[in-house]
Homo-oligomer: A and B are copies of this chain.
């Protein structure tokens, strides 16, 4: 079976593969695109990573991830902003090294409430402020910052941005080429406004990446790892994918799965299974 040409394997799906392995198994499977994570890239160094990516012949779809800027003013926040600038540089370098059709998109997880804080609005304002600081830097690097709304179960400790509509409200302050949103089925399937917000994201030119994986309960002990292959849970990929396609989105679609069982499987097998699941659940609606 030939994988869908728009499928991109997000490296987190094969978390324990190093960069060389991730690139190899993805390309060997006939998948054309990959989304990378900062840690394995920095393990080999950015220049080497860019060369390896170029040699793989793969497109580069996103870099994961920046963000975590809900801290109040101070050295920790300054360090986080500096780290985001490095992530922007990495994104630009990797997008330039990837095959034609690569996109320079840095996915941002906004961050949770600072320790001891209950000020959700304050944390959300600091996300907006941090984007204001980073947007000019991203713009000159030609990088799009993709605000990723996370499922509200992560709303206190990982990401105070909990809906696509909220991500778009924040992004509205900025140029659409510089700040957009990540549309990830796992995080937004439950939202009564999901269809209208996907349509809005398209109209406003802000779908920076479309990512898919499935939702199933009960959760494992670590709820971060409760993501599944498409088709194994309850998400209706038909209607969500149609909604994204109707906006004119025509770029890569990433599969990003955090799941301890999947991580413990051989990466070749995971990529093959991902490609099959994608063909069965997403491809029919492209």
Binding site for B on A (CB under 8 A): 113, 117-121, 124, 151-153, 155-157, 162-163, 165-166, 169, 189-192, 215-219, 221-223, 233-236, 239
Contacts and interface: CB of A to CB of B under 8 A. Distances in A.
Contacts of A165: 192
A219 B215 contact: no
A118 to B, nearest CB: 4
Copies of this subunit: 2
A234 B152 contact: no
10 smallest beta-carbon distances between A and B, as pairs = A155-B190, A166-B192, A153-B153, A152-B190, A118-B236, A157-B217, A156-B234, A152-B152, A162-B190, A118-B234
B119 A215 contact: no
Contacts of A216: 156
A222 B236 CA distance: 25
A191 B191 CA distance: 11
A113 B217 CA distance: 11
A18 to B, nearest CB: 29
A191 B234 contact: no
A222 to B, nearest CB: 8
29 contacts: A113-B234, A117-B234, A118-B234, A118-B236, A119-B236, A120-B189, A120-B190, A121-B239, A124-B192, A151-B152, A152-B153, A152-B191, A153-B223, A155-B189, A155-B190, A156-B190, A156-B215, A156-B216, A156-B217, A156-B233, A157-B217, A157-B218, A162-B191, A162-B192, A166-B192, A169-B192, A219-B219, A219-B223, A221-B221
A64 to B, nearest CB: 22
A62 to B, nearest CB: 24
Given A118-B236, A156-B216, 11 more contacts: A113-B234, A117-B234, A119-B236, A120-B236, A152-B153, A153-B153, A155-B189, A162-B191, A163-B192, A169-B192, A223-B223
A120 B235 CA distance: 9
A125 to B, nearest CB: 12
Instruction: Give the one of A151, A156, A216 with max B CB within 10 A.
Output: A156
Nearest to A169: B192
Nearest to A214: B118
A118 B223 CA distance: 21
Nearest to A235: B118
Contacts of A152: 151-153, 190-191
Nearest to A215: B156
A128 B163 CA distance: 24
A126 to B, nearest CB: 15
Nearest to A220: B221
Contacts of A119: 236
